[in-house]
A and B are shown apart, each in its own frame.
Chain A
Amino acid sequence: MSNPERQGTTADDSPFEVRSDIEITETERWMQWADRTLLAPLRIAADDWRTVLGSAIIGSYILMGTLGVLLVEPTEQNDGEDLVGPFQTAEFPLGTNGVGEDIFAKIVHATPEVLLMSLTGATVAVLLAIVVGVTAGYVGGTTDRVLSTLIDSQIAIPGLPLVILLAIFLEPSNPFVIGIILSIDGWPGLARSLRSEVLSVKKTNYVEAARIMGDTRPRIMLTDVLPNLLPFIGINFMNTARNIIFAAVGLYFIGALPYSLQNWGIMLNKAYNSTALFVPEAFHWLFFPMLAIILYSAGLVLIAQGTDRLFNPRIRARHAETVEESPDETA
């Protein structure tokens, strides 16, 4: 903190009325806040090759889903000859499929839906997990028992079959709706670990202090408990986004979701159900959608792995410029 030494107190000053001699403006306070909560994590992240590589991968997918869609023309049947091999013509860099569609263009045009789906699904799942998990852990008692029963039941209900049934009955075609349905599978595990994290944060001195000072429960949860869980939540956001995309592509692959959207899973399904398994010349038709999924999830996994260190408040403090280093920590 920026209050290294107290001014000497005069006789008529009560020691509790002493003000810090360093004036700090509102803007400076915000700058400090931004430095510690936003920039420090970014600095640590930039230090780690995994985060850098992961962000580069996800960044290129975002470019592909926004600019790429504008630049690459959508493809139709018989755009080229059937089953042109990859890396042979500049017109079809990844070759064509069994009906003469450009595989590269199909992958690019599926990207926006995939991004929307995984973003929506992960957001909904993580928010739900935070609300249920943090409440259960912090409030305790009967609330905890009821919510824990709910979490445990949801963990024991296999997510994929439930999602398949819902997908078949509701026939969703909007990527947001699909994301929300898929989030059913993602929240209970995270809620359970958040609950136990909260239980351990709850016992720390500063939470107890806040409670004694008479802070209300929602205030303590928002200002003292939740910020400590943010890195953990962030990592899990990436992992949930990956799981959602695994599930979505899997569902398209087995044909449980309606074929109204462009999706890598639909490409897989079409390739798998035609000749791609039996004819070596058609293998690229199956391979490139797979590669698109693998690279995308690798990007998410890399970011999650790289940001693991944010969990450690010591590393964070070392990277925040507004935190003064004590001599023994500078090593």
Chain B
Amino acid sequence: MRYYAERTLQAFVTIFIVVTVTFVMIRLIPGGPMDFMRAQLMQQAQGQGGGTTDMARINELVEAYTNVQPDKPMWRQYIDYLNALLHLDLGTSVWYDREVASILASAIPWTVFVLSISLLINFTLGIGLGALMAYFEGSRFDVGSTLFAIVSTSVPYYVVAILLVYVFGYRLGWFPTGGRIPSDVEVGLTVEFVTGALYHAALPVLSLVTGFAGLAISMRANSISVLGEDYIRVARLRGIRTRNIALKHVVRNAILPIWTQLLISIGFLFGGSIILEQIFKYHGVGYFMYQAIQSRDYPLMMGGFLVITVAVVISVYVADLSYGKIDPRVTVGDEE
């Protein structure tokens, strides 16, 4: 029980840290968002030929966009900021001139959709291949797979993405080069919608899936070291069937260290969506964050950062809870 309580507390602590970090970044960095937006708006006003620019009006606009009232004391601003976030008020996007929360709310399911498929495929393939490599250790299959793994871990996912979109999108035209669903399909639980969504998600998923080789290498190493353990020998002496030893003793123990990698790859994937979704023009959270970076749209940028982080914290939390299921030791409060 204590384990679950600690994990829950951990999740809240993380979110609190992130919110504070964003607050500090918006407020305290010189030349940060506030100054930048003021300059941006002043330029806009002068560009429209209004002659004298009304500083009070500009300050008002900056406040409206960012939810920040600079003349209040710092602690008061911080409380207001937390309060606004609790009410899901992330400010207004300068570029799209829409509420940040509504832009991102419509985008996040798509990002989660692509990432969860990739994660699932990655771990199934990685664990499967790694276990096979360990089983046939030293064979030609093992050496060949190791070579493949070395090559594929050397290629960054965005390079894979560019190559995929170049070959299958632009040259061959087999897959769409952008968008989330075909333009003539309505959102709803229809066959067209589901297949259309999968069709558009195929290339982004494929570019992330190449990461499974790295997992296979760790799984192989873990399995080999588990194979040398005494309890495997005991299991064999007890006459337990090979298949049961492989599944219940080897794989189950070899997976444990991989769980940490799962946690890290969740954050990595969500962060990477900024680069990935831009390449595929896939309108998820990462795509809007990219647009915000390009146009220096700070409210959207900060909102994107917060939404991505909260998504990662929740996923890591779920993964942590399930770790308690596969490794019961952690839930009994074994400190070591």
Q: How far is the CB of A248 from chain B (nearest CB, A)?
A: 11
Task: Among A166, A169, A277, A290, point to the contact of B159 (Cβ < 8 A).
Answer: A290
Check A155/B309 contact, CB under 8 A, given A250-B156, A297-B156. no
Contacts of A277 in B (CB 8 A): 162, 165-166, 170
Check A158/B162 contact, CB under 8 A, given A169-B31, A278-B170, A301-B153. no
Contacts of B3 in A (CB 8 A): none
Q: Are A298 and B14 in contact (CB under 8 A)?
A: no
Interface status of B91 (Cβ within 8 A of chain A): no
Check A249/B156 contact, CB under 8 A, given A157-B312, A298-B151, A302-B150. yes
Q: How far is the CB of B157 from chain A (nearest CB, A)?
A: 8
Interface size on A, residues (CB 8 A): 50
Chain A residue with Cβ nearest B320: A152
Contacts of A152 in B (CB 8 A): 10, 14
Cα–Cα distance between A140 and B22 once the two chains are bound (Å): 31
Task: Among A155, A164, A193, A293, point to the contact of B293 (Cβ < 8 A).
Answer: A164
Q: Are B305 and A165 in contact (CB under 8 A)?
A: yes
**What does DSSP make chain B's interface, helix, strand, loop or mixed?**
helix
Cα–Cα distance between A250 and B271 once the two chains are bound (Å): 11
Q: Are B10 and A254 in contact (CB under 8 A)?
A: no
Task: Among B31, B162, B312, point to the contact of A272 (Cβ < 8 A).
Answer: B162
Check A160/B271 contact, CB under 8 A, given A193-B260, A301-B153. yes
Q: Which parts of B188-213 form the interface with A (CB within 8 Å)?
A: none
Q: Which parts of A110-168 form the interface with B (CB within 8 Å)?
A: 140, 149, 152-153, 155-162, 164-166, 168
Interface status of A323 (Cβ within 8 A of chain B): no
Interface size on B, residues (CB 8 A): 56
Check A161/B309 contact, CB under 8 A, given A153-B13, A156-B316. yes
**What does DSSP make chain A's interface, helix, strand, loop or mixed?**
helix
Contacts of A256 in B (CB 8 A): 293
Interface status of B278 (Cβ within 8 A of chain A): yes
Interface status of A176 (Cβ within 8 A of chain B): no
Q: How far is the CB of A313 from chain B (nearest CB, A)?
A: 14
Q: Are B17 and A157 in contact (CB under 8 A)?
A: yes
Cα–Cα distance between A119 and B146 once the two chains are bound (Å): 26
**Per-residue CB proximity of B261-274 to A under 8 Å, as 1/0?**
00110011011101
Interface status of B242 (Cβ within 8 A of chain A): no
Q: Are B293 and A255 in contact (CB under 8 A)?
A: yes
Interface status of A224 (Cβ within 8 A of chain B): no
Contacts of B321 in A (CB 8 A): none
Cα–Cα distance between A295 and B267 once the two chains are bound (Å): 26
Between A and B, 7 residue pairs with Cβ closer than 8 Å are: A149-B10, A153-B13, A166-B25, A169-B32, A193-B260, A254-B274, A302-B150
